[in-house]
Amino acid sequence: MFIGIDHGTSAMRFAGDQGEFKISREIAKEFRIADLARICPLDKIEGIAVCYSMGDNFSKITRIGKLKNRGLVSREGAGKHIGGGTRVYDEVAGSGIPAIVIPGLHRDSPTDPRFKAYSHQTSPEKIGIAYEVCQTLGDDVIVSDVSSNTVSLLVTGGRIVGAFDACIFAPGSLHGALDVDAIRKVDAGEWTANEAFQHAGVNFSLPEDERTRAVAMFAAMECAALRLLNRKAKIALAGSLAPVIAPEVKRLLGCGIDIHDEWCASRGLARIVRDVFLGKKEILGLATDL
């Protein structure tokens, strides 16, 4: 049995062949490795795939014991710091169960160099989403993960080309890029940059009746932008807002849309660790370091 652990914005999701469960990041601060028995007996777990925050100080899928600072350059940066993800990571690392950690995409990643105009492209759980989607749609896909933030990623020929991170382009419900007003508030000392990021979603900027259409439009724009690099790529949506925005995204793009549920990342991560431990040396163009 292989288990994938998705470190999401609001929850931690755990998936394996025999079941799945999720807990809030607050509750995850009390996580024990024994909790994985909700999926299967601990002695039946052959491997675990873990995500942690931005995953930005390594670029290969790496055995957990080889990483320093849990795979981070720094804990400072965009996002809410709660402690649940740290607890889960440390419990897995100390459990003795074989485990790998999935990197995020950043300037040291094997993506199209043009995407490295920005220091960070996506956090690690999106790799799980992309891998799961590719099992259904093939090797040429664009995935937009839409919830509290929006992140879109392109795979061509089974290799990741690049991605738009949440603070670059499309807003989600809570997070987004810093516009002129946000920059002014940061400069005036009213907000930190991270606070500005966490108030840049449509829930803070638009009337309620315009929010869904706006998220759909910007997610479609990200997909259309990535399609410039692969005209034949199929489109998939994941995340809690995927079913809500799918009709409008489909209308705007004029093509079919594949919809995936909230378990897409953890299931994809479980698939990654299984394939890596069965001998696969590369996942979506990312090398392994065991």
Cross-strand pairs, 289: 62
Fill in the DSSP letter of residue 278. T
Per-residue confidence (pLDDT) for residue 75, from 0 to 100 = 62
- Angle, vertex CA 114, rays to CA 109 and CA 120, nearest 5: 45
Rounded CA-CA distance 285/61 in Å is 10
- Angle, vertex CA 117, rays to CA 116 and CA 123, nearest 5: 50
Instruction: Find, among 123, 121, 155, the residue nearest to 136 by Cα.
Output: 155
What CATH architecture is 2-173+205-289?
A: 2-Layer Sandwich (3.30)
- Residue 234 near residue 258 (C-beta atoms within 8 A): yes
Rounded CA-CA distance 229/177 in Å is 23
Per-residue confidence (pLDDT) for residue 18, from 0 to 100 = 86
Q: Which mean pLDDT values do the consecutive 10-residue runs of the chain (290 residues) have?
A: 89 92 90 94 95 91 93 68 83 95 96 96 96 97 96 98 95 95 96 94 97 98 98 96 97 96 94 97 96
Per-residue confidence (pLDDT) for residue 84, from 0 to 100 = 83
Provide CB contacts within 8 A for 6, sequence distance 6+: 12, 13, 14, 15, 51, 125, 128, 265, 266, 269
Provide CB contacts within 8 A for 35, sequence distance 6+: none
Rounded CA-CA distance 134/130 in Å is 6
Phi and psi at residue 94, in whole multiples of 5°?
A: -95, 5
Phi and psi at residue 214, in whole multiples of 5°?
A: -70, -45
Per-residue confidence (pLDDT) for residue 55, from 0 to 100 = 87
Q: Which two tokens stand for residue 41?
A: 């007996």
Per-residue confidence (pLDDT) for residue 272, from 0 to 100 = 98
Provide CB contacts within 8 A for 113, sequence distance 6+: none
Rounded CA-CA distance 193/197 in Å is 6
